Amino acid sequence: MASVYLADACEVYERWGASAKVTDMYARYGDVLKLDARGTRMPVGERMPASHQPRSPSRATPTRSGEGSLDTLTIVKASQALSEEVVLSKLLDRLMRIVIENAGARTGVLLLPSEHGLTVHAFGAVEGDTVVVTGRESQAVPVALSVTQYVARTGESVVLHDASDEGMFRQDPSIESRKARSVLCVPMVRKDRTIAVVYLENNLVAGAFTPARVETLKMLAGQIAISIENAVLYGNLESKVEERTAQLASANRNLESANHNLEQLLDNMRQGIVAFGSDGRISGRFSKEASGVFGTEIREGLPIVDVLFAGVPPHNPRREAFEELLGMGFEQVTKHWKFAASLLPKEVEVHPRTDRARVLLYEFRPIVEAGHITRIMVLALDDTQRRKLEREAVAREAAHTREVALMKKLLSGGGHLFVAFLRATEERLSRFADGLVGESEAIGRAKLEELFQHAHTIKGEARAYELSELEGICKEMEDLLAAGREMLREANGPAVLPRNIQEELVRGVARARASIEAVRAGLVKASPIGRAVLDQIPVSRADVDGLREAAAQLASSATPEVGTLLRPIVDRLTSRPFGESTAHLVESVPTWAAGQGKRAQLVVEGRDVPIPSRLAKVLAGALTHMVRNAIAHGVEPPAERAAAKKEEVGLISIHARATDTGPTITVEDDGAGLDLEALRARAEALGVKIDAVRPSELIFVEGLSTKESADDFAGRGVGLGAVREELRQAGYRIEVDSRPGRGVTFTLRQAPQG
């Protein structure tokens, strides 16, 4: 009886398309399944479903087309994966399970092309009744590299019914060592480009991959290629705004060969999908999302032109062109399909100039029955959100360009020139505004010409500094003044500027001031010294040195009080903004950290704090040593930080604040803190007497480093010792405080006098 029930179960599973389950049952109960109801042994293959009968060995042949019907459930699952998953890792996990379960494989590998060739990104294997999928970026998986490389190079599929005994790949080391049997390798091609390669094995039986399964997997391969490309595009949308979205083709790879399963497929799609026949009207099923995507109620018999161009005026050129194409006759369109398809609209804005406006991307696919095109399917994707993100990215790029332009102004000719221009422009705007104050009778021909001169001058200077917004505002003000000038010329007798023009000019002044303030804020943000850039003027060093000498002489003369008053002024003149000492570090820290296999960012506060000239000469080098030390010895690799429940990106903070005794500077990281035991052990190995030294002070000992080996970045034990000595000579001391698991803080402050 067991054989009868098992055989019936196999047949039912076969009809359901559960190919992996059938293969598993024959692997487990093969002997029982070969007995008939009377308990006698049946000929091999008589009871086994045709799709699971072993095939005789044959030469490994690249396959280009399949046989049999497609696995509808597999197609729907792939479509759901595309619609529901946009994270690449989750997408690969789901698709690998679908492929292995429905192809009858025991193991499967997904490989993606890279600059180093094919690399493994997902590995799946049948364990018991489940498929376990892991993400691996190594080659330590069961895969015949000669097969995958051949498929990637030629774009052809490979089916081996008994890999160890047939074909040109039987000498592959992987096949030879593991005695591989059934092998199937399929490329996933998108626009003549191989996106990925799927490699499957079944070492239980020969001939496991039947023509129907091969064809199903090839159909899935195209869908997987689209899904992978879409997931990558979604994950990199901000940095790849120029890439064309591939989401429009989410399911169309398999629709041509699966039209009889359209109803099930449509119910699981999020795109708007409709089909129209020879009468130009919607016929058959349409997707549940169609009405929402097209923005109009979809129903049987609705003219397709009213759907694709919903809310578009009748005389729109694209709409008229589409109507003319349909007017040629459905038979002519389908007869010359490739040419006609090139004329069909690729994108349309439906319901333009309304709150329902959206941009739809269209793709047209013929529905073939009995060798003839009977209907045309339209797939629509709402691209409105992507366009919005693209515009935002462009705006961010424009803002970045403005910041770069401001930096160029800082570097060319000195920032003080640009600051002087901003101040002069504000003063000129104030004079312009003063000319508008009062009753309308106060503005006559003479006053108007004065206003004209102010607006024209500001416009010219804004153009010189590439401030296009300010230039445009002044141009509008000029146009208003020009209109007022014409009115005054045409007037007989005394004339005044109309009140409406004056009001527009007042608004223009307000906009110009807001534009200048935005430029000033951008300048402060772009400058390494912060707001201090607004208070900089060029001073001759020789003059400052002369002033210092004069102050010293006065302090020792008969009028020392004068020298005492001059000295702080001289000190302020010779000081430098703190931001100058950190400007080179902000961009360098992420690069340095990446070179050490870590991630880190730098935050600087107090950029405008004045730093005495003695300290300023050595501060940039000292900060560089301390920051590099934090990266090399403090900030942990991302995996360790994640285990410690920290953010993967380490934070290094540099803070300066002004005090009565001079600036105090701190350099702090959120890393692991000092390894005091390692410091003691290293000090003892070097013969350093550690009893009289605080453990944390050991980091300043010459030649002492806890790094196992020195490299170009750190580990020679000279950096912090040299930092302390240079700071001592400049009149400053450095202190260190370590917090285990929370980081290290260096503090710089002026040393006591005497």
Residue 741 has pLDDT above 60, yes or no: yes
Token duo for residue 336? 């010359």
Domain boundary among 346, 363, 382: 382
Residue 671 structure tokens: 């890393």
CB within 8 A of 539, min separation 6: which ones?
Answer: 573
* Pair (107, 240) in one structural domain: yes
Q: What is the pLDDT of residue 83?
A: 61
Q: Which of 511, 526, 559 is the last residue of a domain?
A: 511
Would you place residue 485 in the very low, low, confident or very high pLDDT band (cuts 50, 70, 90)? confident
* Rounded Cα distance, 425 and 422, in Å: 5
pLDDT at position 53 is: 45
594 & 569 share domain: no
The CATH number of residue 462's host domain is: 1.20.120.160
Question: For the segment 634-659, what is each residue's pLDDT rounded down to a tens digit?
Answer: 899 999 999 999 999 999 999 999 98
User: In b/e form, how buried is each residue of 412-432, taking b as 16+ CB within 10 angstroms?
Assistant: eeebeebbebbeebeebbeeb
CATH number of the domain to which 664 belongs: 3.30.565.10
Torsion sign, CA atoms 77, 78, 80, 81: positive
Distance, CA of 475 to CA of 459 (rounded, Å): 7
Same domain, 605 and 644: yes
In-domain check, residue 546: yes
Nearest Cα neighbor of 566 from 577, 552, 580, 576 is 552
| Judgement on whether residues 227 and 281 belong to the same structural domain of the protein | no
Whether residue 255 lies inside any domain: the answer is no
Report d(CA 658, CA 664) in Å as an integer. 6
337: CATH: 3.30.450.20
Query: Is 119 within 8 Å of 111 (Cβ atoms)?
Result: yes
Mean pLDDT of the chain: 77
Listed residue (201, 169, 156) closest to 63, CA to CA: 156
Q: Note the Cα 242 to chain centre separation in Å.
A: 12
Alpha-carbon span 34 to 692, nearest angstrom: 87
Residue 536 lies in a domain: no
Q: Could you read off the pLDDT of 683-706 as tens digits, one per residue?
A: 777 766 666 567 667 777 765 665
> Do 318 and 412 have their domain in common?
no
Going from the C-alpha of 203 to that of each of 44, 384, 633, the distances in angstroms are 18, 49, 50
Q: How many domains does the chain have?
A: 6
SS3 26: helix
From CA 226, how far away is CA 249, in angstroms rounded? 7
One domain, residues 740 and 708: yes
Task: Grade residue 628 by pLDDT with cuts at 50, 70 and 90.
Answer: confident
User: Is there a single domain that holds both residue 500 and residue 431?
Assistant: yes
* 207 and 224 fall within a common domain: yes
3-state SS assignment for residue 518: helix
Q: How confident is the model at residue 717 (pLDDT cuts 50, 70, 90)?
A: very low
- pLDDT over 80 at 238, yes or no: no
Mean pLDDT of 505-528: 85
Residue 591 above 50 pLDDT?
yes
- Last-in-domain residue among 511, 528, 553: 511
pTM of the model: 0.39
Supply the CATH number for residue 241's domain: 3.30.450.40
Listed residue (289, 284, 258) closest to 273, CA to CA: 289
Output the six-digit token pair for 594: 């990446």
In a domain, 433, yes or no: yes
- Looking at the fold, whether 566 and 580 belong to one and the same domain comes out as no
**Residue 254 domain-assigned (yes or no):** no
Are 101 and 230 in a shared domain? yes
Tens digit of each residue's pLDDT (9 = 90 or more) over 255-311: 455 454 555 555 666 778 888 988 889 988 788 888 888 888 888 999 999 989 988
- In sequence order, what are the beta bridge partners of 158? 62, 185
Q: Is residue 137 part of a domain?
A: yes
Are 486 and 362 within one domain?
no
Domain interval for residue 133: 61-245
Is 621 within 8 Å of 726 (Cβ atoms)? Answer: yes
More confident residue, 193 or 559: 193
Q: What is the mean pLDDT of the segment spanning 612-632? A: 86
Residues 183 and 70 in one domain: yes
Q: Measure the CA–CA gap between 573 and 569, rounded to whole angstroms.
A: 6
**Among the listed residues 287, 195, 215, the one whose alpha carbon sits nearest the alpha carbon of residue 257:** 215
Element housing 406 (H / E): helix 384-411
Q: With respect to residue 266, please indicate whether it lies within any of the assigned structural domains.
A: no
> CA 108 to CA 341: how far, in whole Å?
38
- Cβ-contact 366, 337 below 8 angstroms: yes
Residue 519 lies in a domain: no
Which residue in 193, 169, 212 sits closest to 65, CA to CA? 212
Angle at Cα 361 formed by Cα 358 and Cα 365, nearest 5°? 145
The DSSP bridge partners found for residue 376 are: 276, 366
Torsion of CA 451, 452, 457, 459, to 10 degrees: 110
Judged against a pLDDT cut of 60, whether residue 438 lies above it is answered with no
